[in-house]
Structure 1
Amino acid sequence: MKGNFELELRIGELCALKWSDIKWQNETVFIQRMEDSSGQVVDYVKSDAETGYRELNLSDELIDIFKKIRRSSQILSKYIFIKEDGNRADKMVFVQRLEKAEIALGWKEPGNMKRSHCIRRTVASRINANGWALDEIRRWLGHTMTSTTLTYIYNPFRE
């Protein structure tokens, strides 16, 4: 989940990442597919191609995390995140991991589960507070409409 605090991926994008998506020399990751609502991995391009495929910069810490995952994996897979049986980790695996982390941190309250979009909103708000332009945030998140991006950014004046 640490990686998603930097990349702000949709959970379907996160579980569809392949090793071939990482460009080690450029220190970037190419987002080009996702798990759809039926559980299948599909190419992912919105009608606005600028926000469909996107290439995101990786921090040194995130590169190290990916390298550790690769070194420690005992099963060769084209997907980065896999289950113990070697199959691709699906959306439910990430939901369960997030729930376990919440319990371990003492954050889980009945009926108040956090979801991966909470992570996206938190990071969008933080990078906005750090001075990123709204259009940069929109492209990073993969939104077509700026109005969608605005709903992700915390505004203390909004109810």
Structure 2
Amino acid sequence: MARRGENIYKRKDGRYEGRYIKFYNSAGKAVYGYLYSKSYTDLKERLKSCKTEKWGASKGMNIPLGEWMNTWLSSLGTTRKPTTQRVYKSHIENHINPALGAIPLKKLNAEQIQNFVNDLNLSAATVKTIFATLKSALISAGGVAPQVWSGVKMPKSEKFITRVLSVEEQKRLENALSGDSDIGIFLCLYTGLRIGELCALRWEDIHLERAVLTVNGTQARTEKGVEIISPKSKSAKREIPLPPFLLEKIKRLPRTGEFVISRFGRPFDIRTYRRHFKHILNKAGLPDIKFHALRHTFATRALEVGMDYKTLSEILGHSTVSITLDLYAHSLNEHKKKQMNKLGGIFQL
């Protein structure tokens, strides 16, 4: 039996075995090292030395943060999706390493990290993701005390009201849609697909006999180029019913390739389709909005016609209903007025 807090065990062969944490891997799990000795006192002293130095023995905590960040990023392997690793790499190269990269791990402190966070002239959400990247790497290093990052204060997030098309604007947009590739805009307006999911949609994902489409992938730009990868989460892989009018539009489309939204037999690149959307907005005389506004518009219209949050959450591919509630608890002023006006009818004689 080990003595409390020492992690030293006596083996059947008479030797003592000691265990210590060498470092934490990219998933945050401890990787252990083992020492052996016939002498309990000798092993205790050697184990104490290893616990003090933690990661990398004599070198680990002396290396610059920037060097460790690059090592950590390279160690991720398949534990993170390519798109996630690209985000990490951008945070490291553009923000973390330029500001903190020269500081040795053992000299890094909470004040330095707090100043780094305060100096980031970015949105609160972006600052939080950059800090999360740094924190994950520091945890994996193993020898950095939690106090270095645990007390750092994040900027307060501003409440963001999503831009949606009014009913009149949506009609103008739909009237401007005429080409075969425009079906993608219809799909997003009436199913809430993300643009990456749209550009990854194959004909085999549309089941005409059941009037549904399945989301099985998303398009992403990796170091290898444009690829179709797994959805961002388990909940993002979903089945969405198709309204009858939309089903009829899909049936009339020519199948010129494997993908529903394609050009020259190849799927539309996300950036190319965004440019196409900008052209359609200009044609319809509408203000410049992000493509993602189509997803917000779908959600708003769905709530306006009485769709419940649970159903909407599943169609949108959110992991929890609370995410849907947080994003779409608001509604358009036009809809608010209609709902409030119903109150007056209760007591009218």
Q: What TM-score, normalized to structure 1?
A: 0.82
Q: Distance in 1 between matches of 2:294 and 2:325?
A: 15
| SS of residue matched to 1:36 | strand
Match status 1:44 vs 2:209: no
Deviations 1:29-58 (A, max 9, x none): 011100024331112251xx3x23211111
Q: Which aligned pairs between 1:4-153 and structure 2 lie closer than 5 A?
A: 4-38=188-222, 39-44=226-231, 46=233, 49=234, 51-70=235-254, 73=255, 75=256, 77-83=257-263, 85-108=264-287, 113-153=288-328
CA distance 1:89–1:156, shift in 2 (3 Å) = closer
Name the % identity.
Answer: 22
Larger RCO (CA within 8 A; separation ≥ 6): 1
Offset of residue 154 of structure 1: 6.1
Query: How many residues are treated as equivalent by the alignment?
Result: 145
Work out which of the two has the higher radius of gyration on C-alpha atoms and give 1 or 2.
2
Deviations 1:74-100 (A, max 9, x none): x3x1111111x2211121122012101
Q: Could you tell me which amino acid in structure 1 is paired with residue 271 of structure 2?
A: M
Hey, which bits of structure 1, 4+ residues long, moved more than 3 A?
A: none
Q: Distance in 2 between matches of 1:120 and 1:152?
A: 11
Q: Which runs of 5+ in 1 are unaligned?
A: none
Q: Distance in 1 between matches of 2:249 and 2:289?
A: 23
| SS of residue matched to 1:69 | coil
CA distance 1:62–1:156, shift in 2 (3 Å) = closer
